[in-house]
Amino acid sequence: MRCLASLLVTIVLCYSGVGLLDAQQSGRSAAERQDRKVNSQRILDAAALKGFLSKKLHKLPLAALMAAVHDEDTPQQIDAAGCEALLGRIGINNAKLAAAIHSFFDPGKTGIIDKREVAISLSVLCSASSQSAKLDFAFKLFDEDEDKNLSEAELVSFFQMFRNPIMSVINRSMEVFYDTCGYRDEFKQVIAKLAQDTFEDHVKAIVTDAFSSDLDANKQLDAAEFVAWSGANKNVGKWVDNLSRLVLDSLAAEVTIDDFQPGDFAFE
C-alpha cells in the first residue's frame, strides 16, 4: 500500500509542474475547482453512508457475518442474485446495496465475485469485541478450503481481493491528471501497468514475510503460526479493515442513505 501511495504521489508531483500546462491555466483552474467540489461531495457522501451503515451494523457480530459466508448452501463464487441472497442471509435486505457491492468487485463484468468479498465489504462496521476476534475473522477469511491451515495460494487469493479497490482508488486519484495532461489513454495504460507490477511485488513480499512464521516448515500456516505472524506484523489485523474501508468509500457513488427503507435490516 505504501509503495502504491508513493508511486501515485511521485507521478502526480512529477507532472503537476510541467510547463505545457500553463497555456490551459484558466480552463484548468475552473476544472480543478469543479473536481475539488465533486471530490468533497463524494467524501461527504461516503462519510454519511458509513455513519448510517455503522449505526445499523454495530450490533452484528463478525462471527455472524462469517457464519453466513461459510454456509454450505452458498457457493464460493456468486452472481448478482447470489450476492443479494447472501446479504439477505446476514439480515440485510437491500437490492441496491447488493448490486453495488457485486458490481464493485466485478469491474470486468464476469458476472461472479467471491462471497468473501461481500463479508469484507461490511466487516469494519460490525461489532468485534477484541483484537483476537478480528484475527479469528481474518484467519477464517484467508482459509478458503476451511482446513484450518493457510496455504500460499490462499494468502495470494486473499490479497487479490485488494486489486479492484486499489485500482479504483488510483484511477480516481489520477482523473484530474489524465484530464489535464491530455494523453489520457497512453498515461492510463502506463499507470495501470506500473500499479499492477507494484501490486504483484507487494503481495509476493507479504506472502514471503508470512511464511517466515511457518515454524514447522510444512508450507502451511496453522492458527498458532498465523497468530505469531500477526504478533510480528501489526498490519495483519488491519488488512481486512483497510479493504473494507476502501470498498465503503467507493459504494457511496452508487448508494445513498435514501436508498434504504425501514425494515431493510432484520437484526435491528
Q: Is 114 in the site for Ca ion (CB under 5 A)?
A: no
- Angle between helix 115-123 and 236-251 (nearest 10): 90
Q: How far is the CB of 217 from Ca ion (least distance, A)?
A: 7
Q: How far is the CB of 231 from Ca ion (least distance, A)?
A: 15
Q: Is 153 in the site for Ca ion (CB under 5 A)?
A: no
Among 71, 179, 216, 268, binds Ca ion (CB under 5 A): 216
| Spatial CB neighbours of 198, under 8 Å, sequence gap ≥ 6 | 3, 4, 7
Q: Is 179 in the site for Ca ion (CB under 5 A)?
A: no
Q: Computed from CA positions of residues 60, 65, 67, 73, in that sequence, does the dihedral angle turn out positive or negative? A: positive
Q: Is 212 in the site for Ca ion (CB under 5 A)?
A: no
Closer of 170 and 240 to Ca ion (Cβ): 240
The gap between the terminal CA atoms of the chain, to the nearest Å, is: 35
Closer of 191 and 206 to Ca ion (Cβ): 206
Q: Where are the alpha helices (DSSP H) in the chain?
A: 2-16, 25-57, 62-69, 80-90, 95-104, 115-123, 131-142, 152-160, 163-181, 184-210, 223-232, 236-251
User: Looking at 45-53, 133-141, 175-183, 218-226, which segment touches Ca ion (CB under 5 A)?
Assistant: 218-226
Q: Is 218 in the site for Ca ion (CB under 5 A)?
A: yes
User: Looking at 48-56, 135-143, 172-180, 185-193, which segment touches Ca ion (CB under 5 A)?
Assistant: 135-143
The site that binds Ca ion (CB under 5 A) totals a number of residues, namely 8
CA 27 to chain centre: 34
Q: Is 116 in the site for Ca ion (CB under 5 A)?
A: no
Phi, psi of 127 (to 5 degrees): -80, 135
Q: Which residues of 245-256 are buried (b: 16+ CB within 10 A; e: fewer)?
A: bbbbbbbbeebe
Closer of 142 and 162 to Ca ion (Cβ): 142
Closer of 103 and 220 to Ca ion (Cβ): 220
Q: How far is the CB of 215 from Ca ion (least distance, A)?
A: 6
User: Looking at 63-71, 81-89, 164-172, 220-228, which segment touches Ca ion (CB under 5 A)?
Assistant: 220-228
Among 106, 152, 209, 214, binds Ca ion (CB under 5 A): 214
Q: Is 143 in the site for Ca ion (CB under 5 A)?
A: yes
Q: How far apart are CA 17 and CA 36, in angstroms?
A: 19
User: Looking at 122-130, 132-140, 143-151, 237-245, which segment touches Ca ion (CB under 5 A)?
Assistant: 143-151
194: its cell numbers: 506500473
Q: Kindly list the distances between the CA atom of residue 161 and the CA atoms of 33, 59, 228, in Å, as whole numbers in the listed order.
A: 33, 26, 23
Q: Which residues pair with 114 in a beta bridge?
A: 77
Q: Is 147 in the site for Ca ion (CB under 5 A)?
A: yes
Residue ranges in contact with Ca ion by CB under 5 A: 143, 145, 147, 149, 214, 216, 218, 220
